[in-house]
Every structure is written in structure tokens, then in C-alpha cells.
Structure 1
């Protein structure tokens, strides 16, 4: 019910349940506290059952073992009021998805102690709430101020933490440090990566144990980059990062759109209840993603193929219009990159030079006006409004203006990212298929082991049968998921619109193997 209607509270559900059961002769009221506790305990048992079957709830099969990108952002709608009833009991899912608050606080205090902590705001083309490092609370009536979430590029929730000080840089750094040992991550995506990455570099000077975090590459979310400074977009945007493909870095937003719908029901829950409810719904969200992952990857490949054909046509049209060669295009791309790298350094130098020259010009005008009659005097506005162009407004003969170079740069980057995306999707399809086969093989071997091993003294006969039945049922579900994924991926392979060379590598051992390691008849026999 919570997945279908996240905004429904436990009390509303119980009132509906009471109305229904009274109709059938039941009397008395349902205790909301007892019902909620029983529900979470039942969910905890289901989580243990999944753990027995070797199912990872917070790990993306398509991103294992190599994860291209992790997107981190805060959701400040998931706060909790201080006035909520207090309870000493710990969450049932403590540390499963939402990190332990003591661990987070210890990490933040350690970073702030070892580094020169300065309260302030970072500005890049505008004022961003996330671009700050402040240790003070922004809301006096709330306890937790929201969640900081880490999501892979397929929208699978990986980890989270409770925010107590707003969106400070130490929170995404904690998640980055937590995920780095588990996954081989290439890009770290943020809405303010241009501000966060210099901060991380400064922290690493005082905290050598965090040096490994710089092995990742900074990635400014593509849509947020449009609102940043122009040179910042060119330098940091994921659309211009080699190897990023069509990753947006905004994947956490779709998770926020789902989790924010339950914000009304978690504001007044206890600390343990809020933690357990958010963890439970995050697991259900991930399960839906796992079920639809094959369709999602195949559809993404089709869209990428179509978009690449369109971008290639647009690029050829632009080349013909400007009469450019490949060499000229590469020069334009490099000119834009060099401008983005040097513009920050040159900006202050140019401004200082303009101020100096303006002061000199005003001095010369004052001296000139003192030597001539008032009718012959010249004012500064008259000089600035003259029709004669300034030197930087004069385009040399045969030269190309910067706007044209930027247009070529954008077209070239779009084509490169789409070409990379096709190769990345093929790699993720292979990783997903290998993950399905590996999981089915583990369940099959374990099922055989449970059937053969009858010397388990610590288990009763009914317990042995229950475990064996559970494993075989999960194996059947996994085989069904394999069948659907195999059908989808073979359709992608056999589609004549796709360029099948991306599905074949030079090493024959890396080619796709859609064969099943155990026959369907063996599964049906179970």
C-alpha cells in the first residue's frame, strides 16, 4: 500500500482496516504502535530471508563490479520534528541503508577538526543552497533536516545519511568514502561539483586517509550546469567529460520525487520508525528497478542509437555550412577547452587592466578639457557610445568568432558522448547478465547442497524442508527473470537498426553467452 500510495499514513490505513473488519463482526480497536512494530519486524524477517538467498538490496547488478557514476544530492523534505514522541529503541534496519548517526557525526567532526573550517557560501553563476559549508542548523524546530542520498546512474539507491546541519560538503564526502571501497567508481556527480572538488582537495591535504577519494573524477550534473557560470559548464559539466557517456548526474532527482511523497507521514514518526520506513521503501524501490533493468537498458540503447544518428547528421550539416575539416573542428574544440581553463585566471587580470586604463583615460580627458573651451570638451560617455568598434569587437579576416567555435564544440561533445554511451550500455548489459547467471548458479548449488546434506543437527526436519523450498522458489524466480532478460537482449542483438559491432569484442571470451547453465527442465523438475 505504501508503494502504491506513499503518502498514506499508518493511522489512515488502520482506520480503513477497522471499517472493513467491523463489517464482518470484529470489535475493538487496532493499536497503531503495535501494528507498526509488528509490520517492521515482519519486514526485517523478509530482509533476512533475502540475505539467506544472497540478494543484495542496495547494489546495482548492471554497475557491478565497475560502476561508472554515483550521483549524490540532498532531500530536505524528509525532515522530522523535534516535538515527535521520543523512544530509546534503535531502528530495526539501523545502518542497512541510512548510515549510523554516530558514525556520520564522528566523521564530520574529524574533518572539521583537522581542516580550517570556515563558515560561508560558495557562488558559481548564482547562489546555491548546496554550495556551502556551515555548521549551524537552518531549522530550529526539526531534528533531522533531511536525507543525503547516493544513487547509481540507473536510479538504484545505494546509501544515505541523516542531515543535521544542512547540505554541508562533509556529508557527500562521507558517502563517497563509504562507497569507494565497495565499488570501482569513475565519476562522482554533484550539483555543485565545481565547488565541492576544490574543497575535497583541501581536506585531503590534512586528511591523508581520504586521498583515495580523488581517484574519482568530478562530474557537474548536466542540467544544473546550465545555470552555472559559462566557463564552469565547459570545464565541469558531465556533457563534456570524456568517458561519461549520456550520464546526466541527475538520477537522484527521480528517487527524491518518490521519497518526497512520504515526507508528510515521516515528519511525526519516531526516529526508529522513520529510519525503518525509509529503508523499507528504498528496498522496494530498488526491487522494482531490478525487475525492469533489462527493459531499461535495452530501451536506453535504442534511444541512444537513434539520437546518435540525429547528432551525426546535424554535425555533418554544420561542417558543410561552415566548410570545416576534421582538423579545424579539433582546433575549435581545443580552443574552447583552453579558454575555459584560462578564463578564470585571465578574468581578474583583464578586469584589473580595464580599471587601470579607465583611470588613465579619465585623467587624460580631464587634462584635455582643461586646455579647451567648454564647447570643445569631451565626456567619457561620448567616447564609450561612439560608433567605432573596440579592438576586441573587430574580427580579423578569415577568423571564426567564439560563438561558432562553441557551437562546434557542443556538437562534437554530443556525438562523442553518445558513442561512448553505446559502449557503456553494452558493458552494463554484460555485467547484468553475468550477475543473473552468477546468482542463479549460487542458488542452484545451494539447493543441491541442502538436498544432499541431511546431517544438519542444528536444524529440524521441517526447517530443512523450509530452507530448501525457499531457495528453490527463489531459483525459479531468478530463472524467470533470466528468461525475460535473455529475450530482451536477444531482441536488441537481432535488431537490424542497431550496430551489432558494439556487441562483439576482439576477445572471444568476452562475447555474450546467453546460454543457461542449467536446463529449463531441471528447474521445472524442482
Structure 2
């Protein structure tokens, strides 16, 4: 029968091959392939034959013949078990893998450390076992000293220790004669299994001869004892002195000799000497952690002094003064090399935008350290106070202004035309800073009267010696009318009006919507992606230094702020090429995305490009138009509402900027709550005076996109929100197209600046070489 014929193959005797497996269930091949993926094979095979593996013995491989009925039964059970195993594996979630799951990797790492910790404890304990070793230099005498810096042969006998470390006085050594490792200062050595004092000389390069006598008559003797400070703390060593036994001529190291050997004296008649590596490390730490104080850094050095068996403290005043003098000399060297610390290479010779803002956290207490000394960097970065004061007095005496209230906050701290000098417990009330669009510091001044308009006016006038396209502020809408008024009374400031006003993009969100459209940098032609907020990044850096500068003297504060600003600019210069390339790349990608968004919007709204451009024009005309209510009472209510909303947004935005303490922020929050309560009553009064269709809700008027009902135009069927959405996309596309051109221009300026600097250095190098050859020739002739 057909059924029997079809079933016949199943009744034939088929061999069953038993596979050999290892302890993990993986198939063990008789002839393994080098290219076989064991992991993938084991997973695949174990999933198909999981039940089979559990049923069979994994340690035997054999061939056997079974009866037909046994074979059929076995195959049915095998297929059934395979189906169950596949179902279980499909429903069970896959375990996380360490290669893709971060938490799994961290967990495995912690487990490995925990497993290894007992062994590490034993190793650390064994390391402290001061067993008797053989000197690894001579190989015969027992070791008496271990040097932590002479790896990989750290053990020395007493004689080898003296001969080797006579010239390596800064090595950290431990004595082993007492049965434990005892830290040794460089002036202590081991003599006959006992500690003894010795004299160590500061390693300096000494002249080959000091007189015309033979070199054999020269002897090097220890001179005066000085404290040498390195990154390992303080060392008490002796200065070298040379003496000729024949003619009795002497030589001792001076300040010039110290500087040539990378040391810096604390005073000109030095008793303390600093390794310049300490100054470099302190400066790098200040840049990484600006809030680090000098005292904290020196306490760390004092701890390292004690750790390595030495004694003595490092004086903070001496260290600070020496550090600033060292920085002043470096600054003079940079001037010789014609290096400009406060000029951006990508903004030379013409600059696209300057951003100015105040930092109220950089105050200084009146009862801080007082000193009559002049700042080393006076007028380099922070303008001289007397010059600023004369300018402010001249402006205030030239124009007569009665302070009023405006929509964008005439009563705000950053929008004042006049203010009296503070009579509180602080001296300087903060800093007014100017930066370029690349975040490079350009200049600053000390504020004594809060954030008045005369301060940014001084910086604008100071920076106007080069062409500047935009002048950015967070209250440009109030500052620019003030500038126009000043320019009428002071003709010498008329040239400042050639700059275009620029309201910082993010600060504009706290202003009235009309004000944002009219003044915001996001809508200024030719501005590119300039934010006008670049000064905020610089403020964030300098604010971290304020925790220490507020207790400094006036000169010390000026020097430290100038120094940190210079090092900040150096970092910006170093990364400028990469930054410009990234800007161009991001602008290109964002432009493609914005073009797609514009096309999607046109398709969704079924409008043409001409209609979209018409909406853009409508928004601009709407922003320029003035709105007024026919009802005088209603007009007063709406004006009051605009002022309160703008003030609340402004205070919330500057909550962490205007004060550095919780008490100050609590006062600002209390003021915000009071203004919100007043605003709520004003909103209720407004809603009672207008129809139901023009009523507004208190919850939505504090949002970023507030459009007042009395500002809406009812002549068009398209609502203002739709037009503004299209307006934002079109403006973003225009700014991105401008940004690509601007960045390419800045790249060319940067390249030209680098080329000019390289040519200047080559010219100076050739000039110095020729002068050196000339002086050598004259000395040989004479």
C-alpha cells in the first residue's frame, strides 16, 4: 500500500550517533577548525538539542543500532522535547550581555575587585615587611635604605646610598634598619646601622671655572641653608658655593642662576626657593578647579612634606607673591614674542559681535586684606577704576535722566541708567565683562554702582577701535535708546551707533514677544548663529573663582582674575581650529534639517513659498507697530501686566546669576511670589474689563511664547502662532546659511593670524641668532 511504502524508510535501521560534549554542553569536535565560532555554534546547537543533551551522556561518543519501534519512539520524544525547549527559550528574556549593558559591566567589575581584594590586602601587608635585602648596587652588603624613586632597583646599602643620592637629593628614601620603613629626609643617612645627619646641596648647574687657576684648585662647599619647595613638599638644603684654594676667589648662586635651573626665589635675598613645576601645577589646578584656594594647595604640599619624613611649613603670602611675580615675567616674555592675550585670532581685524554682561558674584569685601601695593596686571584686562569713574561721571553730568519704568524692565538691576555707589560691606560689587562670539575675554571693569548703562558704554567705546557689527546685551531694547540719547549729547560717541543692537537670544525669551522679534539676535540679518550668550559661559568659569577672590586684596584680586582670563583665552585659542570646524559641520547638518522642516510645513499647510515669505513680513510689521488701547484705564492695566510678567521672567532667569548665596536667592524668590500675587489681581481686573473672548488665563501668561490679546491682528485668517512658527523656521534657515559663510571667513582669519605669528617668530629668531653670533665674535676678539 502507498501508506506502507511511505512508512517503509522509517522502519529501516538507522544509526544513532552520540556526540561528545564538554562540561558546559558544547560539542567537542574531533578535528576542530581554527575559524569556527565556538560561541555562536554552542548557542545554536544547544538551543536545538538542549533536551537531547540532558537525556544523553555528554562524555561518550558511540554508534549503535536500535530496533525500529525504539527509533520511532525516540525520534517522537526528541521532536517534542525540542519544541518545548524552543518555546521556553523564545519566551524567556535574553540575559544582559556585558558587551552591551553598562550596569552588567560595572557589576562584573565590582565582583572581580571584590574577589581580588583579599589577595591585594595580603600583597599590601607583605609590601610593608622590611626584611633584610641585599644591596642591588654592589650586590654584597646588606641593604639599609629603600628609595621610592630608584625603580626597579630600590635597595641600597649605606655606602651606595650616600654615593648615589648625593646628586639625587629630591628622591624619597626609607630606612630599613629599625625593622620597618622609616621615611628619611635628604639630610639624613645611615652610618653603621644608625641614622646620622649629613649636608645636601641644591642641585644647580655650576660654572666650570671662576678664575684663571687650574680646575683642580676648585672646591664645592655648602653655603646658606634654604627651603626648596617642590611638588613633594619642602626640603631644607644648602646652596652650593665654589672656592679657589689658590687665589681665594669665590662663587655663589644668584637669582639668575636659580631661574636658569627652573627655580624661582621667594625674594631677591632668597631664603626660600620654589621649583617652577609647583607654579605650573598650581596654575593648572586653578584652571581645573577655580575655587581652589592657595592655602588649600599649600596644605597639600605640607602633608606631602610630612609623609616623606621632612618638616617645615610653606608660607602662603610668600608663595602667592612669588607665583604672581613669576607670572608677570612670563607675561613680559609673551609681550616680547608679540603674543596678544585678549585678541581673538578669528575676530581680527574685524569682529562680528561683542557680548557684554555683568557678574554680580565677583564682589570683594571691604574688610578683606588691604594693601597699598599696585596690581601687576593693572589695566591689562580689568580697566583702571579711576578711568572708568571719570567716564561715568562725564556721561552722567552730560545727560540728565529721570529713571522710569519700561515694558522690558526699567526697574531691573541690569537696566538702570543711574545708581548711587553702594554703602554696604562690599567694595567692588562685581565685574562687567566683554567677550567675542567665540568666548574669548576682551576686557572687563569693576562695578561700584550695580549694572548701570555707563559700564557697557565704556566697554563699547573701548572696543570700538576695530570694526564691530553687533553689540549684544541682555537688555539691548533699553540700552539702545539710552545710547542714542548719549550720542546726541556726546558727539565723540556717535561712531558707536554704527554697531547694530543685538538682544541675547535666550534672554530675549523673557522679554515681550514684540521686543524679541524686533531685537533678538536670532532675527538679525547677518548675525549667523551668534547667540549673544557667550559671556554666560565665561561668567560661569569666573564665578567659580569668586569664592576666593572676594577675600583677597584689591591688587591680588585684579592679578588673579587677569591671570585666569589669560589662561582661559589660551585654552580657547588652542581649541579654536577644532571649534570652527565643528561649527561649520553642525551648521550644515542643521540647515538640511530646517529645510526639511520648512518643506513639511508647506505641505502640511498647503501654502507656497511666497505665502510663507508674506507671513515673515507680517510678523516683522506687527512687531514694529505700536499698540494702544482706546480706554486709558485698560491701557494702564495692560501696561502693568506686561511689566510684571517681564519682571517675573527676568528674576527667575537671573536667580542663580545675581547672587551666590541661599539668602539672596530666598529674597529673590520672595519678590517673585509677591509679584505673582500682584499679577494675579491685575489679571482678574483685566478680565473684568474685556469681553470673554479676550480674557487670559494666569497659568499661561508666564510661558515663553506669550502673545497678548491686544497685540493680535484680526485682519488675517491665519493666526499669529502659525505665522510665528513659519517665521522661526525661515529665520533659522537664513541664520544657518549666514553661519556657514561666517565660519569660513573666520577660518581664513585664523589661518592668516597663525601664519603671521609664525613669520614673526621666525624673524625674531633670526634676529636673536645674529645678535648672539655678533656678541660671541666680539667677546672672542676682545
TM class, shorter-length: 0.7 to 0.9
Distance change >3 Å, CA 241–CA 40, structure 1 → 2: same
Query: For residues 309 and 454 of structure 1, do their structure 2 counterparts lie closer, same or farther at Cα, with a shift above 3 Å needed?
Result: same
Q: Which has the higher contact order (CA 8 A, sep 6+)?
A: 1
1:162 is aligned to 446
Q: Quote the offset at 1:12 in angstroms.
A: 1.2
Partner of 2:469: 186
Distance 1:263 1:240, change over 3 A: same
Q: 2:518 aligns with which of 235, 238, 257?
A: 235
Secondary structure (helix, strand or coil) at the match of 1:144 reads coil
Other structure's SS at 2:327 match: helix
8 A contact 1:122–1:132 mirrored in 2: no
Q: More displaced, 273-282 or 84-93?
A: 84-93
TM-score, structure 1 as length reference: 0.77
Shift of residue 412, structure 1, vs aligned partner: 0.7
Q: Give the aligned partner of residue 86 of structure 1.
A: 370
Q: Which residue of 2 aligns with 1:410?
A: 728
Residues 405/19 of structure 1: CA separation in 2 closer, same or farther (3 Å cut): same
Cα shift at 1:16: 1.4
Map residues 493-504 of structure 1 onto 2, 5 A cutoff. none
User: Of 133, 136, 159, which residue of structure 1 is paired with 2:417?
Assistant: 133
Alignment RMSD (CA, Å): 2.8
Alignment-derived partner of residue 623 in structure 2 = 340
In structure 1, C-alpha distance between the alignment counterparts of 2:388 and 2:768, rounded to whole Å? 41
Q: Following TM superposition, by how much is the alpha carbon of 1:200 offset from its aligned partner in structure 2, in angstroms?
A: 0.6
> 1:134: how far off?
3.0
The one of 103, 126, 143 equivalent to 2:427 is 143
Q: Paired residue for 2:758?
A: 440
Matched, 1:206 2:489: yes
Is the CA contact (8 Å cut-off) linking 1:221 and 1:249 kept in structure 2?
yes
Whether the 8 Å contact between 1:73 and 1:149 is mirrored in structure 2 is yes
Contact 1:301 1:422 in 2 (8 A): yes
235-244 vs 1-10, which deviates more?
Answer: 1-10
SS of the residue corresponding to residue 341 of structure 2 reads coil
Which residues of 2 match residues 41-80 of structure 1 at below 5 A?
A: 41-80=325-364
Residue 29 of structure 1: how far off its partner (Å): 2.8
Write the distance in 2 (CA, Å) between the matches of 1:391 and 1:19.
Answer: 69
1:381 positional shift? 7.6
Give SS of 2:545's match: helix
Contact 1:121 1:132 in 2 (8 A): no
1:110-509 pair list within 5 angstroms: 110-119=394-403, 122-124=406-408, 128-138=412-422, 140-181=424-465, 183-343=466-626, 347-348=627-628, 350-352=630-632, 384-385=691-692, 399-454=717-772
Which residue of structure 1 aligns with residue 11 of structure 2?
none
Identify the match of residue 106 of structure 1 among 377, 390, 406: 390
**What displacement does 1:126 show?**
9.0
Gaps of 5+ in 1: 357-379, 462-526
Which SS does the other structure have where 1:321 is aligned?
Answer: helix
Instruction: Please say which of residues 452-461 and 264-273 is displaced more in the overlay.
Output: 452-461
Matched residues in 1 for 2:614 and 2:446: separation?
47
Distance 1:212 1:395, change over 3 A: closer
Deviation at 1:452, TM superposition (A): 2.4
Q: Deviations over 1:396-428 (max 9, x none)?
A: 7x8322222222211110110011001000000
SS at match of 2:451: coil
TM-score by length of 2: 0.52
CA distance in 2, matches of 1:77, 1:436: 36
State the 1:335 CA deviation.
Answer: 1.2
> Residue 301 of structure 1 contacts residue 425 of structure 1 at CA under 8 Å; is this kept in 2?
yes
Pick from 301, 304, 320: which aligns with 1:20?
Answer: 304
Partner of 1:371: none
Matches of 2:753 and 2:395, distance apart in 1 = 37
* Cα deviation, residue 245, structure 1: 0.4
What whole-Å deviation, never above 9, does each CA across 1:122-154 have from its counterpart, x for those lacking one? 541796321112322456010000110000001
Q: Which one of 20, 30, 38 corresponds to residue 322 of structure 2?
A: 38
C-alpha spacing 1:330/1:290, structure 2 compared with 1 (3 Å): same
Shift of 1:383: 9.9
Task: Provide the secondary structure at the position in 2 that maps to 1:410.
Answer: helix
Q: Distance in 1 between matches of 2:710 and 2:435?
A: 50
In structure 2, relative to structure 1, the CA distance for the partners of 1:36 and 1:416 (3 Å cut) is same
- CA distance in 2 between partners of 1:317 and 1:126 (Å): 42
* Structure 2 contact 634–689 (Cα < 8 Å) conserved: no
Verify the 8 A CA contact 2:480 2:501 in the aligned structure 1.
yes
Q: Contact 2:503 / 2:519 at 8 angstroms: preserved in 1?
A: yes
* 1:54 Cα deviation after fit: 1.3
Distance 2:314 2:454 in 1: 43
Alpha-carbon separation, structure 1, partners of 2:775 and 2:769: 14
Contact 1:125 1:227 in 2 (8 A): no
Work out whether residues 74 and 149 of structure 1, in 8 Å CA contact, stay in contact via their aligned partners in 2.
yes
Q: Which has the higher helix share?
A: 1
In the TM superposition, residue 27 of structure 1 has moved relative to its aligned partner by 3.5
- Larger CA deviation: 320-329 vs 161-170: 320-329
Distance change (3 Å), C-alpha of 1:406 and 1:144: same
Number of residues of Structure 1 aligned to a counterpart in Structure 2: 431
Instruction: Work out which of the two has the higher radius of gyration on C-alpha atoms and give 1 or 2.
Output: 2
Q: Secondary structure in 2 aligned to 1:131?
A: coil
Residue deviations 1:280-321, cap 9 Å, x none?
Answer: 010110000111111111111111111111110011111122
Structure 2, unmatched stretches of 5+, are 1-284, 637-686, 695-708
Name the CA distance, whole Å, in 2 between partners of 1:248 and 1:222: 5
SS at match of 1:142: coil
State how far apart, in whole Å, the 2-side matches of 1:38 and 1:232 are. Answer: 52
| Distance change in 2, residues 1:381/1:438 (3 Å) | closer
Q: Is the 8 A contact 2:294 2:320 kept in 1?
A: yes
Q: Distance in 1 between matches of 2:294 and 2:711?
A: 67
What is the CA distance between 1:340 and its match in structure 2?
A: 0.8
1:199 is displaced (CA, Å) by: 0.4
Residue 57 of structure 1: how far off its partner (Å): 0.4
CA shift at 1:460, angstroms? 11
